[in-house]
Structure 1
Amino acid sequence: MGNTCAWPVLRTVDLAEALTLAEKLLAVSFWYRPDGCYLSAWAHDDDVLRRLTQAHPGASVELYGEGHTALPASVSLGVSDLGQTSDALRAWADITRCYVLWHDLKWPAVPELGLDEEYKYAELQVACNSHTIYCDEWTAEHTVFVHARPGHDARAAWLAAQVGARVVGPPEEGW
């Protein structure tokens, strides 16, 4: 058991720029399970819930309000390729805060840093309209996060450097 640690490696108002950086980071990784990707958003009112599910009718909805029968709701959608991910994320980012998370991938070994391959804590995330992985605050910017084993600051910096980026803020505890 244990939680990831998430380092922000880009903050931008340009969602295309965030997705391009994510695609470059995915190219650095080794896929473990290509379909290990999903989008997630919270709906706190009926209008947002309606708009999210209309944008992607295949999305699943789980209610978390009183007795699990009322809002807020967690809305999620599995995606399997970058094109589908990009389209879905753009649609949802126009509605509310949301994120896409790629999990079940593997970060490569970095022998010069004494780091073996990493699977358990390897994840990549784009948080739309937020600076946090949980999307609990609204911002005009989108944030790209690399998730890795807690304490592996050097791995996060190394991953960012591989794609011409850098860590742009302190890490936060992941999931």
Structure 2
Amino acid sequence: MILYTVLMLTLIATFSIVLTSMRNRISPTPTSYRVKKELLKILLDETPTKVVDLGAGWGTLVFPIAKQHPNAKVVAYENSLIPFLFMKLRQLVSPTPNLSIERRNFYHADLSSFDLIVCYLFPRGMKKLKDKFNSELKSNALIYTHTFSIPGWEPLEKWKARDLFRSPIFKYKIPDKTE
């Protein structure tokens, strides 16, 4: 009976991830250890007040960011049910008071209050976010992406992670809108 229940829950979880991946046209993929390590080192120099991880997946990056920046309010947006529930469970086991986990499609979320945005999204997703970033983000907001750049934007800085693929990490800054 226990084996049957575990098998059924596994099948339901897998089916949920597959359906959401088909809808999103991307699966929840964790940031690799070496990319995470390099990005966290880069983020040490930042002093954000409000951070968002767009498509936080399993929480691989957002939990360490929240711990590294305890004075910042950190938000994780994830619309895939199983990774979202996994992060919620992780939050119960290892409370991170400045981290809020929301099951939400970030394309429909208001990003105007964030001063630091982190994302690991596929090229089509980055292209789709470009106009949203321009219209919603405040002046001087920072955007960090890895592996995929924002098409047509010139990064302020660029690094290479020490992983097998030499994955790029990009830093962008929203121009001052008062000029």
Q: Same fold (TM over 0.5)?
A: no
Q: Which has the higher strand share?
A: 1
TM-score, normalisation: structure 1: 0.30
Question: Max radius of gyration: which structure?
Answer: 2
Higher RCO structure, 1 or 2 (CA under 8 Å, sep 6+): 1
TM-score, normalisation: structure 2: 0.30
